[in-house]
Amino acid sequence: MLIFDSVIGEGRGAYCTFIACSTEHNPFGSDVFPEQLLQSDCWTALYRLKLVQMPGTIGIGRIEHYLSKLPA
């Protein structure tokens, strides 16, 4: 499990939060709006890009919501 903030893109880039876990199946479900879901090999990651009126970071409450979906 990794939770980190990053800047992606060129120039000023976009600041966003990632929540990633090493798993073959998506533990977060399909209702993840406004986050985006990315799966590659054995990793599943959620991230939020900055939109006009929405920050690119995922708040603590939302992170806790996603962590509660993970198997023990």
- pTM here is 0.77
CB 6 within 8 A of CB 16: yes
Q: Is the pLDDT of residue 14 over 80?
A: no
Hey, what are 16's tokens?
Answer: 């966003």
pLDDT at 72 over 80: no
Structure-block tokens of residue 5: 């903030």
Residue of higher predicted confidence among 13 and 63: 63
